[in-house]
Amino acid sequence: MLKLNLADLGQYSDVVHTRRGEAVTLRFVTPGDADELQAYVRGLSSGSRYKRFLGAMSELPKTVLDDFTHTGRDDRFSLVASMSGDDVERIVGEARYAFHSEDDSVEFGLSVQDRWHGHGIGPALLQNLECRAAALGAISMFGDTLRSNDVMIRLAKKSGYLFRQHPDDWKLVRFEKQIGAGADRSCASLRLVVSNSADRMQAR
């Protein structure tokens, strides 16, 4: 499993693109992002917040915000997707994922700012998450969404996820995917895993 260097989280950043080619930076959240991340969550439409957090809430509770901004705590990781304009970086999406060591799976949830829906950021973020999960040594990914969340369901289907009933909640559906050889390999995290293991081989 990739052991994160918490003192240099920037090395795990990636750049992906919207369908129109605009650059979107995906990077781990740091404690300094707390206010901006909270503003992003508050700025989501109530419908998007409900779909993302599976319940009504206007903002992240303080303890949850604290967890979100401490990347790696309890094998949980938060990413922000940001775009630059007028020399200002703005958060346009986020994702959170957790590594479950008992079955080497990664569970995730994600959102994109409403005004950026339909630009391909969600699929790019999902593909990147799969690569990051592979770097952690995961063999599968899964997420839960409301049965009524047609957009997420379509996105997961297009990305090769299979669906099954949620184990505990009839309102939700669970989507899962094996992420072996087919996983996207183009994230910094996976490149670091490959080069670190090559260094170890050479040192032997």
Ligand X SMILES: CC(C)(COP(=O)(O)OP(=O)(O)OC[C@H]1O[C@@H](n2cnc3c(N)ncnc32)[C@H](O)[C@@H]1OP(=O)(O)O)[C@@H](O)C(=O)NCCC(=O)NCCS
CA distance 98 to 108: 6
CA distance 83 to 22: 8
Shortest CB 61 distance to ligand X, Å: 18
Identify residue 7 by its one-letter amino acid code: A
When the beta carbons of 119 and 132 are compared against ligand X, the nearer one is 119
* Candidate segments 63-71, 146-154, 163-171, 191-199, binder of ligand X by CB under 6 A: 146-154
Contact 170, 189 (CB under 8 A): no
Contact 73, 9 (CB under 8 A): no
Strands 88-100 and 76-85: antiparallel
Number of residues that bind ligand X (CB under 6 A): 21
CA distance 153 to 110: 13
Q: Which of 16, 190, 185 is nearest to 110 (CA)?
A: 16
CA distance 152 to 57: 20
Among 81, 106, 107, 119, binds ligand X (CB under 6 A): 119
- 117: contact with ligand X by CB under 6 A: yes
Among 69, 128, 149, 189, binds ligand X (CB under 6 A): 149
- 83: contact with ligand X by CB under 6 A: no
- 81: contact with ligand X by CB under 6 A: no
- 155: contact with ligand X by CB under 6 A: yes
What does the block give as tokens for 165?
């009933």
- 43: contact with ligand X by CB under 6 A: no
- 143: contact with ligand X by CB under 6 A: yes
User: How far, rounded to the nearest angstrom, does the alpha carbon of residue 85 sit from its chain's CA centroid?
Assistant: 23
Among 25, 48, 140, 178, binds ligand X (CB under 6 A): 48
- 96: contact with ligand X by CB under 6 A: no
Interface mask (CB under 6 A) for ligand X, residues 175-204, using x and -? ------------------------------
User: How far, rounded to the nearest angstrom, does the alpha carbon of residue 92 sit from its chain's CA centroid?
Assistant: 13
User: Rule CB under 6 A: which residues touch ligand X?
Assistant: 48, 51-52, 109-112, 117-123, 143, 145, 149, 151-152, 154-155
